[in-house]
Structure 1
Amino acid sequence: MAFEGLSERLQATMQKIRGKGKVSEQDVKDMMREVRLALLEADVNFKVVKSFVKTVSERAIGQDVMKSLTPGQQVIKVVKEELTTLMGGEQSKINLSAKPPTVIMMVGLQGAGKTTTTGKLANVLRKKYNKNPLLVAGDIYRPAAIKQLETLGKQLSFPVFSMGDKESPVTIAKEAIAKAKEEHHDVVLLDTAGRLHVDEDLMNELKQMKEIAQPDEILLVVDAMTGQDAVNVAKSFDDLLGLTGVVLTKLDGDTRGGAALSIRSVTEKPIKFVGMGEKMDALESFHPERMAQRILGMGDVMSLIEKAQDNVDQDRAKELEQKMRTMSFTFDDFLEQMGQVRNMGPLDELLKMIPGANKMKGLDNMQIDEKQLNHVEAIIKSMTNAEKENPEIMNASRRKRIAAGSGTSIQQVNRLIKQFDEMKKMMKQMTNMQGKKGKKRGGMNFPFMQ
């Protein structure tokens, strides 16, 4: 997962200094030596590392920190603030033209995920900005690139403008913008051609497209897993085109995160979006402060809330709460709720957004087994409607049938039924507390939490 290696090293380093009532210059030097190694191992640009370490060291041994009541906490605060600054400081939002259509050029090398990201960005613009995008198939060189964009357009219900692979991309861009104005599309997303490396022909063509399209945004799509190469590619494109922002793809698969920490500092261009999965809704706005908090194990409550708002039906959530209060919560309700949570993303990633979850006993090394989640789903779907409504009618023969129908064991079925009953009792107790402190109960241990 993103920043996993860096996060573990930095959190271990911060832990050594966190509770210290007194911090010496030597303590800071020792800590910064560890930080330097952690950043270099994460493939962060060495010049960026040098500058970061120098800035943090100077601030950490300053009077405000050394003479504070909690110097250890102050040093960590400095590290978080400088990490945030390193990644851009504040969120950089997408530029939307006051006079539609907004034209966005998607550029980058082959294999970075440019075409897929074009579809994902269109999805974000519709959901969060209430826009009506037109996708434009401007990559006439890569085999099946036009077909890929058309397939994405059909999947997401977006129109795709194409003139085949015989017309030049410059002509396609010009005609597409005219078509967008005619059909009242307020955003034009130009999917452009890539190459295996930066070359003169590619750049000349993109320059011509830029002159014709006059884009409001030129977003470079780069693969985060390429590390320092991503930074070099960004610099080359920016020198020749003048980028307005960067989209990092496959950040969820890069355990190092060096590109995300280097690219802003080296190019001075903001990271606007990050790809955090293969699903078409797995494109997130990039928030430097939230990412810094995640790296340091401080959680990311705001992103968690936004994910919940985007994926959970609020009216249905109120209904489920009422069912929990009255003990009428069924296996069907549980299955629905589990589906909504799974739509928010990988569960282990969601747990990391909860402040302090990495220090909670049992959660620090907990692995979420997606196969076990599938088993839970299969068990519930193998029940009859009557069994889902009234689990108490499930006798031995019924449980044997459910196990056979779901491809699981009787023990797994028994465990799920028992835990579901415990969960209902616990949720009723929690919802009836009305803010009062109740007796401490043992935590739930679902079969998909190993």
Structure 2
Amino acid sequence: MFDTLSEKLQRAFKNLRGQGTITEENIGEALREIRVALLEADVNLGVVKELIEHIREKAVGQQVMTALSPTEQVVKIVNDELIAILGKDTARFNFASRPPTVILMAGLQGSGKTTTSGKLAAWLQKGGHRPMLVSVDVYRPAAREQLKIVAGSIKANLYEGDLKGENPGPDLVERLAREARRDAVNSGCDTLIVDTAGRLALDDDLMKEMERLKKLLAPQEILFVADAMTGQDAVNSADAFHKRLALTGVVLTKMDGDARGGAALSIRHVTGQPIKFIGTGERPDAFEAFHPDRIVSRILGMGDIMSLIERAEEKLDKKKSEEFAKKALSGDGFSLEDFRDQLRQIRKLGSLQSIMKMLPSIGPFQGIQQMADQVDENQFVRVEAIINSMTKKERNNHEIISGSRRKRIARGSGTSVQEVNQLLKQYVQMRKMFKTVGAGGGKLQRSLMGQLAGRQKFGR
């Protein structure tokens, strides 16, 4: 979502290259471009003014590191200031000393509150917790049904309650909330996530209902769910909710979309409350803790390698990856079946576009993010279909795949003989490459095997 902002900041930094020192003149030009880039990204005007002033002060002041080039100096200063705006550390999640921990989800209708409630439950489950979900939106029957579907998809506990024909209103909302907390205690759930009613716009009735729920449940977390695509509207709504409810944090949804990033860079400065989580897709696991330093790294074109590594460690089968590495680097090579299994592993990490977006857009990776939009994800499907159309004997010995077999494989996979030939050619080239690496005096092979053994030993 920060593509445009990142591109314009890179342009501002580029204009400083070749300068011997930072002067009022050349930093002024760069700051003008940075200001425009931030405003076009829908960053709050007050945030932009403060940020620009801090950058100017540090860039031409005593704090400049003389060992760095002007571009490096400004990049470092911008990096530090953006992290300061977003919060220097990853925000902590508050748990009750005596379960259940109550989490009140707040937000306007359409912000993704119900889906986010489910994602938060899935995130808690991964951490060893036993969450329960409850919807107190008694005004829209579809809202309660949606949460039921979400809870079922992640196998989370759900308190449905019985509306008993009561008229929708504050009394029914409070009864459901009380019963849900009691049921969470009785069923051994250590967390209760309360999905509240939303409105199309801010209104006093909504706020009063939220205030009553806060008084009744004394929640440890009051999380405001904001749609990052709405920019400053999300910031203004968060500010209004915070003034009435004293939010403990913010969750930004649709961070994988085409938003300009202004909400992420403004919301903490305006409300004083940290962004705790971000939603990065539709799936229940497309939800992660918000790391200010990693987001800033993405904005400045330096990628987010740490998040990519964490995703790999979480999603990939370490044993299969190690077996594949040993087989590939040995003289025997690896089979088409192994190749297919590795493609399946890679697809667990998410779309290839999302993986490429985490790589730096500078240095040896320069231009790789621009290529991300040109990637054909369906190619993975076609490759797997081709390999699946082979017999086990063919997958284990590609040399027996004759012309007639290739025609049969193409028909079975719904592809062409040319595509089958191309896959086999690429596979043979990969085998040769791995064999060369593995046979390179054995030194690289021993080094890689040593690293694998070390990671296995220390559980990394």
Q: TM-score, normalised by structure 1?
A: 0.92
Q: What corresponds to 2:370 in structure 1? A: 365
Whether 2:409 is the aligned partner of 1:411: answer no
For 2:449, the equivalent position in structure 1 comes to: none
1:138–1:162 CA contact under 8 A, matched in 2: no
Aligned to 2:145: 147
Distance 1:185 1:261 in 2: 35
The 1:16/1:194 distance shift into structure 2, 3 A limit, reads: same
- Residue 249 of structure 2 aligns with which residue? 245
Alpha-carbon distance, 1:361 to partner: 6.2
Q: How do 1:260-339 residues align onto structure 2 when only pairs under 5 Å count?
A: 260-326=264-330, 327-339=332-344
Worse-superposed segment, 277-286 or 411-420 = 411-420
Of the structure 1 ranges 199-208 and 369-378, higher mean CA displacement relative to structure 2 is found in: 369-378
User: Is the contact between residue 21 and residue 72 of structure 1 (CA under 8 Å) also seen in structure 2?
Assistant: no
Measure how far apart 1:209 and its partner are.
0.9
Q: Which residue of 1 aligns with 2:37?
A: 38
Does 2:345 correspond to 1:347? no
Report the Cα offset of residue 349 of structure 1: 2.5
Would you say the 8 A contact 2:361–2:368 is kept in 1? Answer: no
Corresponding position: 1:203 with 2:210: no
What one-letter code is carried by the residue in structure 2 that aligns with 1:39? L
Q: Deviations over 1:252-302 (max 9, x none)?
A: 103411110111111111000001011110001100110000111112121
Q: Any conservation in 2 of the 1:247–1:273 contact (CA below 8 Å)? A: yes
What whole-Å deviation, never above 9, does each CA across 1:45-95 have from its counterpart, x for those lacking one? 111111111111111111332744433212110011111111122110211
Moved more, 68-77 or 49-58: 68-77
Aligned counterpart, 1:429? 436
**2:6 alignment counterpart:** 7
Residues 44 and 171 (structure 1), Cα distance of their counterparts in 2 relative to 1, 3 Å cut = same
Write out per-residue CA displacement over residues 10-39 of structure 1, whole angstroms, 9 at most, x where no aligned residue.
122223325644332211111111101111
**1:126-275, aligned counterparts within 5 Å?**
126-127=125-126, 129-165=127-163, 166=165, 168-275=172-279
The answer (yes or no) to whether the contact 2:22–2:59 under 8 Å persists in 1 is no
The letter for the 1-side match of 2:287 is L
The aligned runs of 1:58-77 (5 Å cut-off) are 58-65=57-64, 67-77=66-76
Call closer, same or farther: CA 1:255–1:205 in 2, change over 3 Å.
Answer: closer
User: Contact between 1:357 and 1:364, CA under 8 Å: does it hold in 2?
Assistant: no
Q: Is the 8 A contact 1:21 1:69 kept in 2?
A: no
Counterpart of 1:57 in structure 2: which amino acid? R
1:378 alignment partner in structure 2: 385
> Which shows bigger deviation, 325-334 or 31-40?
325-334
Distance 1:216 1:430, change over 3 A: farther
SS in structure 2 at match of 1:218:
strand
TM-score, normalised via structure 2 length? 0.90
Amino acid at match of 1:154: G
Shift of 1:432: 5.0
Deviation at residue 356 of structure 1 after TM alignment? 5.2
How far does residue 235 in structure 1 lie from its aligned partner after superposition? 0.6
- Opposite residue 376 of structure 1, the aligned amino acid is V
Q: Counterparts of 1:34-113 in structure 2 under 5 Å?
A: 34-65=33-64, 67-113=66-112
> Which amino acid in 2 is paired with 1:78?
I
Separation (CA, whole Å) in 1 of partners of 2:363 and 2:231: 26
Structure 2: distance between partners of 1:428 and 1:238:
60
Q: Is the 8 A contact 1:297 1:358 kept in 2?
A: no
Distance in 2 (alpha carbons) for counterparts of 1:115 and 1:430: 50
Distance in 2 between residues matched to 1:303 and 1:354, nearest whole Å: 10
Residues 1:398 and 2:400 aligned together: no
Aligned residue number for residue 444 of structure 1: none
Go from structure 1 to structure 2 and tell me whether the alpha carbon gap of 1:277 and 1:264 turns closer, same or farther (over 3 Å shift). Answer: same
Count of aligned pairs: 435
Structure 1 stretches lacking a partner, 5+ long: 438-450
Aligned to 1:447: none
CA distance in 2, matches of 1:416, 1:182: 57
Deviation at 1:335, TM superposition (A): 2.1
Distance 1:422 1:432, change over 3 A: same
Q: SS in structure 2 opposite 1:253?
A: coil
Letter in 2 for 1:341: I
Task: Tell me if structure 1 keeps the 8 A contact 2:161–2:179.
Answer: no
Pick closer, same or farther for the CA change 1:404–1:328 going to 2, 3 Å: same
SS in 1 for 2:141: coil
Instruction: Judge conservation of contact 2:111–2:227 (CA < 8 Å) in 1.
Output: yes
Question: Do the aligned residues in 1 keep the contact of 2:104 with 2:196 (CA within 8 Å)?
Answer: yes
SS at match of 2:222: strand
Q: Kindly indicate whether the alpha-carbon contact (under 8 Å) linking 1:48 and 1:262 is maintained by their aligned counterparts in 2.
A: yes
Q: Which amino acid aligns with 1:90?
A: D
* Percentage identity across paired residues of the two chains: 49
| Structure 2 equivalent of residue 124 of structure 1 | 123
Whether contact under 8 Å (1:135, 1:153) holds in the other structure is yes
Gaps of 5+ in 2: 167-171, 446-460
Using the alignment, how far apart are the partners of 2:178 and 2:366 within structure 1?
A: 59
Q: Distance in 2 between matches of 1:69 and 1:226?
A: 38
